[in-house]
Amino acid sequence: MTRFLLCCCFIALASFAQAENNKTFPDGFMFGVATAAYQVEGAWNEDGKGENIWDRMVHTDPSSITNNDTADVACDSYHKYKEDVELIAGLNLTHYRFSVSWSRVLPTGFANEINAKGLLYYQNLVKELKARNIEPVVTLYHWDLPQPLQEIGGWTNPNMVTYFKEYARVMIENLVGVQYWATFNEPKQVCRAGYGVGSLAPRISSNGIADYICPYIIVKSHAEVYHMYKNDFPDLKGKMSIVFDGQWAEPASNSTADTEAAERKMHFEFGLYANPIFLGDWPQVVKDRVSFRSEKENFTRSRLPEFTEDEISTINGTFDYLGFNHYYTRLASDVEEEDFDDIGYDRDVRVLSTEDPSWEKSPNGNPIVPWGIRKTLKWIKDTYGNPEIFITENGVIDDGSTLEDDIRIDFYKGYLSSVLDAIYEDEVKVTGFTAWSLMDNFEWTGGYGYHFGLYQVNFTDPERPRTPKKSADFYGTLARTLKIPTSWANKISACWIYLLGTLVVFQFL
């Protein structure tokens, strides 16, 4: 009897582990954390740094940020970067994804004036990471355009292709040893939120116009930097790409209309930025929809800029991996064609986004749907020829009330289980995963009200102390073992339940 019960216990443990996905991430799989310059550095006007569009926004329109928060000091990583690297090393992580503040290195945005102190900061950060065997993953642009460049049109100005290329050259020449580069982080947010609806800096509201010009400029800028890197720095042999945010659109019903609506949504929100780089040209459904509505709205040509054959050739294939950020899932329903009196991106897309009320919600209301990341990864594989995918952001907020952030641990268990299924069941080539974020930080218009960090930061203390949350230990164990940790409390609970059930059965034998 004793042997039998012990056997049952082991079976229970194995079954429980299987429920949480006990597969091992492949050898060489990378686990890291991410931050962005504006969100953590602070020192907004120190050592020669110039003003950027977020500096301008928080100082001239403070009510646009929760609690009138600013990132003037933020996490003070400009002065505490060594401590940050120490935290990353303590978690056994392979990489640290951070971004460069363009205006810290080039205060006016133009390459004729290089700020040596700003450049030295990033050189020291890379040196510190390399000394701890942590791979720097450097994003050149994470939303913080120098204000002087915005004054001349920002990402709607064709000259930005040249200015961005010159800035990228400065960084590539001076950050020796960097093997992973990303040109842009989430161009959809840059273009749609920054120039379409105007919810993020620089808060331009040109719905259906500027939010199509912006992707045209950005993908050309990306391609120019990619070719410059490959042609002018052949000995570096690093990887260069771009990072897209991809949220899953699940058909709200089995109808053909809703299925097509979900696919249309994916192409407008992901394909608009990825297609030119991974396939050449815009997605056909995007071209057709914008052209159709533009004609009905009495435009002489489509509001979506048309690539030349030379541009298509230059942009196509400019990637070494696909950077992928994922946070949530939505339901997609088809809607009827609206009138043509008003133009707008949403009218072009013609999709209603909703949520299933049964889905779990995070404190900020975003649905927690682990299978959404697997479906998105599979869609990327099928749509773009199975490229290497580097997950560059994934995370959830806690409410900031405790260091016992079980919501984050449960979130990562679910999402990482789905990533494992994508790798082993769908044969998606995922090579790395990056948690957002290393620590609580300035979350754009949410200020300090959103807490995404593995480490808590006390923003009322001038020293900005970092304190590990429960999830930090979980994530460190994951990185060390390449397996999703399972708590002993849960294992023991499962074992006792199984044992009790077995004893009950034996009462009737």
pLDDT at residue 20, rounded to an integer: 66
DSSP H helical ranges for 233-370: 256-266, 272-278, 284-296, 309-315, 345-349
Which DSSP letter does residue 43 get? Answer: -
Measured distance CA(58)–CA(78) in Å, rounded:
19
Token digits of residue 441: 């930080």
Q: Which domains does the chain have, with CATH numbers?
A: 21-485 (3.20.20.80)
Measured distance CA(124)–CA(128) in Å, rounded:
6
Assess whether 295 carries a catalytic annotation: no
Cβ-based burial of 509 (10 A; exposed 0-12, middle 13-18, buried ≥19):
exposed
Query: Sign of dihedral through CA atoms 86, 98, 316, 222?
Result: negative
> Which residues have CB under 8 Å from 399's CB, separation 6+?
363, 451
DSSP 153-195: TGGG-TTHHHHHHHHHHHHHHHSTT--EEEEEE-HHIIIIIII
User: From first to last of its 509 residues, what are the pLDDT tens digits of the chain?
Assistant: 455 444 444 444 444 444 468 999 999 999 999 999 999 999 999 999 999 999 999 999 999 999 999 999 999 999 999 999 999 999 999 999 999 999 999 999 999 999 999 999 999 999 999 999 999 999 999 999 999 999 999 999 999 999 999 999 999 999 999 999 999 999 999 999 999 999 999 999 999 999 999 999 999 999 999 999 999 999 999 999 999 999 999 999 999 999 999 999 999 999 999 999 999 999 999 999 999 999 999 999 999 999 999 999 999 999 999 999 999 999 999 999 999 999 999 999 999 999 999 999 999 999 999 999 999 999 999 999 999 999 999 999 999 999 999 999 999 999 999 999 999 999 999 999 999 999 999 999 999 999 999 999 999 999 999 999 999 999 999 999 999 998 654 444 444 444 444 444 344 44
Measured distance CA(152)–CA(351) in Å, rounded:
34
Residue 446: count of CB within 10 angstroms of its CB: 16
Assess whether 336 carries a catalytic annotation: no
pLDDT at residue 89, rounded to an integer: 98
pLDDT at residue 497, rounded to an integer: 43
pLDDT at residue 21, rounded to an integer: 84
- Give the pairing of strands 329-334 and 322-326: unpaired
Measured distance CA(345)–CA(157) in Å, rounded:
20
User: What is the three-state SS of 3-27?
Assistant: HHHHHHHHHHHHHHHHHCCCCCCCC
Measured distance CA(200)–CA(189) in Å, rounded:
8
Indicate which residue of 41, 128, 135, 186 is catalytic. 186
Query: Sign of dihedral through CA atoms 206, 449, 74, 406?
Result: negative
> Which residues have CB under 8 Å from 79's CB, separation 6+?
42, 43
Measured distance CA(259)–CA(277) in Å, rounded:
25
Contact indicator for 322, 241 with CB cutoff of 8 Å: yes
Indicate which residue of 51, 311, 393, 443 is catalytic. 393
Measured distance CA(422)–CA(373) in Å, rounded:
9
> Which residues have CB under 8 Å from 377's CB, separation 6+?
324, 389, 419, 422, 426, 428, 430
Which DSSP letter does residue 438 get? Answer: S
**Is the link from the previous residue into 353 a cis peptide, with omega within 30 of 0?**
no
Output helix, strand, coil percentages for the chain, rounded to the nearest 5.
Answer: 45, 15, 40
Which DSSP letter does residue 105 get? Answer: H
DSSP 394-406: E---B-SS-S--H
Hey, what's the torsion of the CAs at 256, 340, 276, 175, to 10 degrees? -120
